[in-house]
Every structure is written in C-alpha cells, then in structure tokens.
Amino acid sequence: MEKVTERFLRYIKTDTQSDPKSGRHPSTPSQLKFSKELAMELEKTGLQNVTVDDKAYVMATLPSNIDKKVPVLGLIAHVDTSSDFSGKDINPQFHHNYDGGDIVLNEKDNIVLSPAVFPEMLKYTGQTLITTDGTTLLGADDKAGLAEIVTAMEYLVEHPEISHGEIRLGFTPDEEIGEGADFFDVEKFGADFAYTLDGDELGVIEYENFNAAMLKVTIKGQMVHPGYAKNKMKNSALVAHKFISMLPAFDIPEKTEGYEGFFHLMEINGSVEKTEMQFIIRDHNRELFEKRKKLVEGIVAQLNLEYGENTVVIDMKDQYYNMLEKIEPVKHIIDIARDAMLVSDVKPLIKAIRGGTDGARLSYMGLPCPNLFAGGLNFHGRFEFIPEKSMVKAVEVILKIVEKVSKM
C-alpha cells in the first residue's frame, strides 16, 4: 500500500493537463517532461527496451521468465489529466477510517464532499480516502492507473520466482482530449491484447463505450445599426439559440444515463457577427450515433435555407467507436480479468463506459484493449477522490492477470 500510494502522490505533483486547443503533439510540454521522468523510473525499476519518443509515448518491456510461448500482455495508462479543472499544485488530503459523513475539503470556501450528492462514497466507509483540497482535481484519472501498473511491475522484478510471460507497458499522452492513440505504434508495442487501467470504481470492467464525434459549429451573422436593422441584420447569436433549440431537449448529459446518448454543448462564444459552438455527440448504438449526425446535418440545411447559404457551417469529425465489436471475438480476455478480480476478492462490475478510452481506438487499430478500474471516482473536478485500498486491489488484480496469462 505504501509503495503504490507514494508513487501516486509523487505523480500528481506534476501538472500534466492536456490542451485541446494547442495543436501540438503532445499538447503540453509538461507531458513530455513527465514521460521522460517516467521512462527513467522504469529503467531504474529494471524494465527493458524503455523508449520515450518526441510525442511523449512511453513503452517498456518486462521480459518473459518462462520457457513456453504465451500471449504478450499489454498494460496501458495515460499521463495527462483533464483540462476541465485545474491540475496545478494539487494538495491531496487523507481521511482515515472514513465514517460515512460529509468531508469538508475547503473550510474557507465551504466546499464539501458529501454522500448526499455522491452516495458512492458510502461503499468505502472504514477506509482511507484521498481527496483534493477543493481547489483542483486529484489526478487519479489516470495517474492512479500509472502508479498501479508500475508498482505491479516493480513487484514482479523484485520477485523473480513469480512466473510470467512478456509484458509490454504503454503510457500515452493526450487521452483526455481524444488524441491518446493518434501516434501509438501498435506494431512496435507488439502485444496480443492489452488492458487500460483507466476505469473508475473498484471492480469495473468495461468493454463497451460510446461512439463519439466532435462538432464545431460556426455561424456567420451580419451587423447593422439596430435602429435600422429590419430585414437587414442577421444575429448569429440568435441563430445559435435556434440551432440549440432544434436539438432534442432531454438528450443532454445531465438528463441521460446508462446506454442513453446525448449532444453536449461544451463551449459557446458569440456576437451578432459571429458565433462559434463546440459540441460532442455520443451514443453507444452505432445506428443511433449516425442518426444523431444526420439530425445535425438536417438542422444545418434548414437554417441555411431560412437564413441564407453558408450562414451555418459545421466541422464534424468522428473520434472513436464502440469497442464491443472488436472485443466480442476475443471475449476470453474479459474472462481473464473477471477471474483475476474474483481471486483478489474484488466483485467484478461489468458496465458500459459513458465516455471513451485509448483502448477503444486501439481496439480498432488491431489491439483488443478493454478497460479496468483504477479506483478513482468523480473524475475531472474538485470532488475527485480515491480509496487507498482500491489502488492496492488494482495492483493485486494486475498480478493475477499476469499469472493467468502465463498459464495460457
């Protein structure tokens, strides 16, 4: 417990937020700096073939110590944290023997982590919870996954009597902005299958995720003095309002759950002359996903008919697809993870991701890659926390997966 916790606390000291607007790879220089430090740590730990490229991808190998050929196992996590909330100067707080009540994160600003709002906290009564101080995110997404993988590898290096096949590690940048697999070399990685350690609560196994698209909407208006604007002014902000009103009112993140998809307005900036909006489009069902995109195209056509050609211009790009299609033919890798959890006294919780992981794209690139829990909850905000025991259990599960793969 001390090793994985110490490693996690060390990792979150470095601010590695990705930046969706930078246009660089990696999107922030801090990710490359962190990746280089991580590579040095892996070499000191005893891993081999450690590489870090100029785009901040880290790869390393723990060679097989058995004399038979078994599948090459991959373990993957990402180095960046979300840009949704500050990741600078994280000040973690420890709450030992959690009693099931409210946790005051920041007394000055009256920021409280409460089971009345986050009932999942009650699953971890009696345990040590690591929280933020209410001013930053925590970084468990995904530095907990990083810490768990490296700690498990360190344990195997220190215990050569434990049999294992070849294990490949891959640590990626820019997962949080949907670019984590952009420059991932699957052939170089050389694993037969892999797991991302990027899930949330204890026991999670995920091999279904959203189909995802990014949508940028640009609306061109026409400014005229408001006193003389009749039949002349075209207010782009009002056209934007109409665009939003033509989307299904209840298909938004705050009113959906489970397998329900949505349109999410992430950002809007505008004036009479010009308004820009950023949306993400999500649905687990591929057919419904395509219908959502067709709906957007229909709205654009209707508004351009009403307000004039090229008033509304869109840039809509697919980001990733539901990995279920690629995992079903190799469903035994789900069985391996589930059985590893059961022998580690962890109850498997199989659910669909209301989001995506590097594993979704990697699965379509030829590397089947379901997602396992890293242990954190309430990612991307001030209320993020992680039970210390969940990190320990993640290390145990990794070791059990390694053991089971060595017997294939």
Torsion of CA 322, 325, 331, 335, to 10 degrees: 20
Q: What is the average pLDDT value for the chain, to the nearest integer?
A: 96
Residues 12-58 have pLDDT tens digits of: 999 999 999 899 999 999 999 999 999 999 999 999 999 999 999 99
Share of the chain above pLDDT 90, in %: 96
At residue 34, the pLDDT reads 98
Helix (H, G, I), strand (E, B) or coil at 141: helix
**Where residue 357 falls among pLDDT bands split at 50, 70, 90?**
confident
The residue among 304, 292, 151, 128 whose CA lies nearest residue 215 is 292
At residue 374, the pLDDT reads 97
Given a cut of 90, is residue 10 above it in pLDDT?
Answer: yes
What would the two tokens of residue 104 be? 């005051």
Q: What is the spatial distance between Cα 31 and Cα 16, in angstroms, rounded to a whole number?
A: 5
Is residue 377 within 8 A of residue 200, CB to CB? The reply is yes
The residue among 233, 197, 274, 187 whose CA lies nearest residue 4 is 197
Given a cut of 80, is residue 1 above it in pLDDT?
Answer: no
Residues 6+ apart with CB under 8 A from 259: 284, 285, 352
**Where residue 143 falls among pLDDT bands split at 50, 70, 90?**
very high
Given a cut of 80, is residue 264 above it in pLDDT?
Answer: yes
Residues 67-101 have pLDDT tens digits of: 999 999 999 999 999 999 999 999 999 999 999 99
Q: What angle do CA 254, 129, 180 make, to 5 degrees?
A: 55
**Where residue 167 falls among pLDDT bands split at 50, 70, 90?**
very high
At residue 358, the pLDDT reads 87
Domain positions in the chain are 2-209+322-406, 211-320
Residue 174 among the catalytic residues:
no
Residues 202-211 have pLDDT tens digits of: 999 999 999 9
- Other C-beta atoms closer than 10 Å to the C-beta of 388 total 21
Name the helix (H) or strand (E) containing 404: helix 388-406
At residue 329, the pLDDT reads 96
Helix (H, G, I), strand (E, B) or coil at 327: helix
Tell me which residue has tokens 């990705």. Answer: 18
Residue 358 among the catalytic residues:
no
Given a cut of 80, is residue 384 above it in pLDDT?
Answer: yes
Which of these is catalytic: 148, 154, 166, 175?
Answer: 175
At residue 355, the pLDDT reads 83
pLDDT, average across residues 368-386: 96
Helix (H, G, I), strand (E, B) or coil at 307: helix
β-partners of residue 76 are: 170, 196
At residue 261, the pLDDT reads 97
The residue among 200, 188, 170, 190 whose CA lies nearest residue 38 is 170
Given a cut of 80, is residue 191 above it in pLDDT?
Answer: yes
**Where residue 170 falls among pLDDT bands split at 50, 70, 90?**
very high
Given a cut of 80, is residue 290 above it in pLDDT?
Answer: yes
Between residues 1 and 91, which one has the greater pLDDT? 91
Q: What is the spatial distance between Cα 49 and Cα 64, in angstroms, rounded to a whole number?
A: 13
Residues 224-236 have pLDDT tens digits of: 999 999 999 999 9
- Domain 211-320 fold: Alpha-Beta Plaits (3.30.70)
Architecture of domain 2-209+322-406: 3-Layer(aba) Sandwich (3.40)
Q: How far apart are the first and last CA of the chain?
A: 29
User: How many residues are present in the chain?
Assistant: 408
Q: Is the peptide bond before 142 cis (omega within 30 degrees of 0)?
A: yes
Q: What is the spatial distance between Cα 196 and Cα 18, in angstroms, rounded to a whole number?
A: 19
How many H-runs (helices) and E-runs (strands) does the chain carry? 10, 17
Share of the chain above pLDDT 70, in %: 100
β-partners of residue 313 are: 218
What burial class does residue 150 get, using C-beta atoms within 10 Å of its C-beta: 0-12 exposed, 13-18 middle, 19+ buried? buried
At residue 339, the pLDDT reads 98
What would the two tokens of residue 150 be? 């490296």
Which of these is catalytic: 41, 80, 192, 200?
Answer: 80
Tell me which residue has tokens 């659910």. Answer: 351
At residue 36, the pLDDT reads 98
The residue among 225, 312, 230 whose CA lies nearest residue 270 is 312
